[in-house]
Amino acid sequence: MNKKVGIQDLGLKDYKECWDYQERLFQETVDLKIRNRREGAALETPNHFLFVEHPHVYTLGKSGDMTNLLVSEAKLREKGATFYKINRGGDITYHGPGQIVGYPILDLDNFFTDIHKYLRLLEEMVILTLADYGLNGDRSPGETGVWIDVGTPFARKICALGVRASRWVTMHGFAFNVNTDLSYFNMMIPCGIKGKGVTSLNEELGKKEVPMDEVRKKLLSHFGKLFEADLA
């Protein structure tokens, strides 16, 4: 099993361009697994972890409800935002500057073959990072992602998750609000969940800005320990 994970920071990158890149890495790994099985080979499959920020964009998962987008696509264009229907799970999500988006493209055969565990560990990575800042992040029963003040009228989401997997190879991932302009969430029903708000790390800490590189380093540290991965 190959537990090495190659880390790439793509900076600010167009959503569609990054999606195409994810698809290429994902398909290369799937094709290698098919070849190994067909030829009886034992070539190592790679693992990747992409960090990126996107310009303003809304994405709708394959099981999502279009009515959860509360404005027209023309209105989105006026706000400088784009919109895509994509092939991950989950409903509607917003990405934008100040948000850390992570796309682990892992062959789970190198770690464990359990999608439920995979999602829970991604959540735990964020929960542990929030704890580093003195915040109590938690899971909300029946809902993916990481929340603040779960079980109260003030429950608010700070990190969304949505993944795709085939032959135990993953793509898509998580979106962690760090210094995000939360007004962009007003144009949708986040993740299709009514009656709950959204928040960001800088909002919870009462700071104008939290250093993004610092947060990424904390996320990676927890990811490496939780997945017992060799980060490169």
Higher pLDDT, 78 or 132: 132
- What are the pLDDT digits (tens) for 134-166? 999 999 988 889 999 998 989 999 999 989 999
191 is catalytic: yes
Query: What is the predicted pLDDT for the residue at 10?
Result: 97
Question: Cβ neighbours of residue 74 under 8 Å, at least 6 residues apart?
Answer: none
Query: What is the predicted pLDDT for the residue at 195?
Result: 60
Question: Cβ neighbours of residue 89 under 8 Å, at least 6 residues apart?
Answer: 61, 62, 63, 162, 163, 164
Strand, coil or helix: 208? coil
Query: What is the predicted pLDDT for the residue at 3?
Result: 97
Structural element, H or E, at residue 222: helix 212-227
- What are the pLDDT digits (tens) for 75-115? 777 878 888 887 776 778 899 999 999 999 999 999 999 99
Strand, coil or helix: 106? coil
Query: What is the predicted pLDDT for the residue at 197?
Result: 86
Higher pLDDT, 109 or 59: 109
- State the pTM of this model: 0.92
Write down the catalytic residue from 125, 150, 159, 191: 191
Distances, alpha carbon 206 to alpha carbons 126, 199, 213, 214, in Å: 19, 11, 19, 17
DSSP E strand stretches across the chain: 4-12, 48-53, 57-60, 82-85, 92-95, 99-105, 137-140, 143-148, 156-166, 169-177, 197-198, 230-231
What tokens were used for 69?
């987008």
Average pLDDT of the chain, as a whole number:
91
Q: Which residue has the tokens 């939780």?
A: 226
Please report the domains of the chain, with CATH numbers, ordered by start residue: 4-231 (3.30.930.10)
**What is the residue-wise DSSP string for 121-133?**
HHHHHHHHHHHHT
The strands making up 82-85's β-sheet, listed across from edge to edge, are 82-85, 57-60, 92-95
Q: Which residue has the tokens 């537990």?
A: 3
Q: Whole-angstrom Cα distance, residue 171 to residue 186?
A: 27
